Amino acid sequence: MNRLSAILATTTLLASPAMAEMLPLEKDELTFGFIKLTDMAPLAIAYEQGYFMDEGLFVTLEAQANWKVLLDGVIDGQLDGAHMLAGQPLAATIGYGTEAHIVTPFSMDLNGNGITVSNAVWDEMKPNIPTDAEGRPQHPISAEALKPVIESYRAEGKPFNMGMVFPVSTHNYELRYWLAAGGIEPGYYSEQNTTGQIGAEALLSVTPPPQMPATLEAGTIYGYAVGEPWNQQAVAMGIGVPVITDYELWKNNPEKVFGLTAAFVEENPNTTIALTKALIRAAIWLDENDNANREEAVEILSRPDYVGADPEVIAASMTGTFEYEKGDVREVPDFNTFFRHHATYPFYSDAVWYLTQMRRWGQIAEAKDDAWYDEVAKSVYKPEIYLEAARMLVDEGLANEADFPWDSDGYKAPTPAADIIDGIGYDGRAPNAYLDTLPIGLKGDQTVVGFEIQG
């Protein structure tokens, strides 16, 4: 290299951000699946900001029709990985529904969901809800306000139908949690009856996320739990009112994950680290400088290839606010959290919570000891891959050392009772003790037999 070339090369390096270290990739052409929800954002941003390309990855992103099609696509290899419900890798690994060993090195976000009811149900609930000093409904709203409404429907012989997105979705468990905290039975599963409606006072069934508002408008369901933008879409359409966000239900609760088969990770270890690096960078971008990039993120997500909703609807929650009743806009800065609070770290305690809810409602038919919960969590959640990717980013000057929980044993500190709507704290290290504290749900050796809880 002559002197001029050397000077130009040095100048270019100084003027450019630190470059990602290129790993020897086993596979560089990848197809990832997603569902049209705001929380697929890390995938869209990693693609649009060139973070996948920086790692030498040529990625195609493909929207999927529903969560089952998406999971099947990952299992049969049509998709290399996907934006997944956190319950999906866990359920598949323990053989509930579809059986396959799915793992996650990356948690995609915290919070991001809401529970919405129809205008008619809201009008019936509202007299049961206290008001604040400004005359607005006082939040968080307990399902106790819904209980007399459901009782009146039952007295008229009308089943109270509600929608959630998948049997092992966060939305199913959050809706059940909210109902149970208000004294409403959300129903049980058994090995013979997988409807989840055994003994239910509110009947929960599956509706794909983008179809939620139309299903509500048609009167097929009276309310639903879903991720954004489909709660805010109900407000925009004037057909429903979100009554609670999951941030109010359980502050900074885990949401989606990025899922891959264990076989893919074993065969493509460097590719897995590379894609995890790109996703971490996307999450950092989404939250950095107090969400300064969110307006740009909204524009990207509104495109038909991604979420395909109006920018105003996506922005209603993505930019730090949330609209309940029309015009009742409140500050919820952490409603969508992609990197803060270690949002991207795959904590074992998050996995254990999902497993406790599967057991609580009968999807796990028989009691398991605490060691089983820990073992399953560690077989699915892979913080060691995450930290390897994070270490490379720090070494490359693309992430800050202080932003990662290097010394964690994989378990968060217990969630304090004040951060959960029913005032019951959660410690992932003691799943059975936690289950015993929940007033509604299976405990100890209880099982569901026919239409009864036994034991």
CATH of the domain at 356: 3.40.190.10
Residue 37 lies in a domain: yes
Shared domain for 233 and 311, answered yes or no, is no
State the average pLDDT over residues 279-295: 97
Contact status, residue 344 vs residue 386, Cβ threshold 8 Å:
yes
In a domain, 323, yes or no: yes
Domain end: 193, 221, 253, which one?
A: 253
Q: Which two tokens stand for residue 149?
A: 């409404």
Q: Which residue has the higher pLDDT, 210 or 264?
A: 264
The answer to whether position 421 is within a domain reads no
Question: How large is the average pLDDT for residues 123-131?
Answer: 97
Six token digits for residue 205: 């069934």
Q: Does residue 44 form part of some domain?
A: yes
- Does the pLDDT at position 6 exceed 70? no
Residues 318 and 390 in one domain: yes
Answer for the pair 66, 36: CB distance below 8 angstroms, yes or no: no
Both 225 and 332 in a single domain? no
Same domain assignment for residues 83 and 99: yes
How is residue 126 written in tokens? 């509202």
Query: 332 and 235, same structural domain?
Result: no
Q: Look up the domain containing 141 and give its range.
A: 113-253
Q: 444, exposed or middle or buried, with CB in 10 Å at 0-12, 13-18, 19+? A: exposed
pLDDT of residue 5: 38
Residue 105 lies in a domain: yes
**pLDDT band at residue 4, thresholds of 50, 70 and 90?**
very low
Domain shared by 92 and 217, yes or no: no
* Judgement on whether residues 232 and 267 belong to the same structural domain of the protein: no
What pLDDT sits at residue 20?
A: 60
> Is 367 part of a structural domain of the chain?
yes
Per-residue pLDDT band at 19 (split at 50, 70, 90): low
Model confidence, pTM: 0.94
Q: Are 117 and 243 in the same domain?
A: yes
Q: Cβ of 414: how many Cβ atoms within 10 Å? A: 15
Measured in whole angstroms, how far is the alpha carbon of residue 113 from the centre of its chain? 8
289 shares a domain with 261: yes
Q: Lowest-confidence range among 21-25, 108-112, 360-364?
A: 21-25
Each residue of 156-203: pLDDT tens digit?
999 999 999 999 999 999 999 999 999 999 999 999 999 999 999 999
408 domain residue, yes or no: no
293 and 350 both lie in a single domain? yes
Residues 271, 396: one domain?
Answer: yes
When pLDDT is averaged across residues 336-355 and rounded to a whole number, the result is 98
Q: How far is CA 403 from the centre of its chain?
A: 21
Q: How many CA atoms lie within 13 A of 299 on its CB side?
A: 4
What's the CA gap between 140 and 247, in Å, rounded?
Answer: 10
How does residue 71 score in pLDDT terms, banded at 50, 70 and 90?
very high
Three-state DSSP state, 162: strand
Helix (H) or strand (E) holding 175: helix 170-181
Q: Tokens representing 43? A: 């995938």
Using the 3D structure, point to which of 357, 381, 403 is the last residue of a domain.
403
Domain count along the chain: 2
- Residue 280 placed within a domain: yes
* 316-343 residue pLDDT tens: 999 999 999 999 999 998 999 999 999 9
Residue finishing a domain among 253, 284, 304: 253
Locus of tokens 């399902």:
143
Least Cα distance to 389 among 37, 17, 51 occurs for: 51
- For residues 306 and 275, membership in a common domain is answered with yes
- Is the CB of residue 168 less than 8 Å from the CB of residue 87? yes
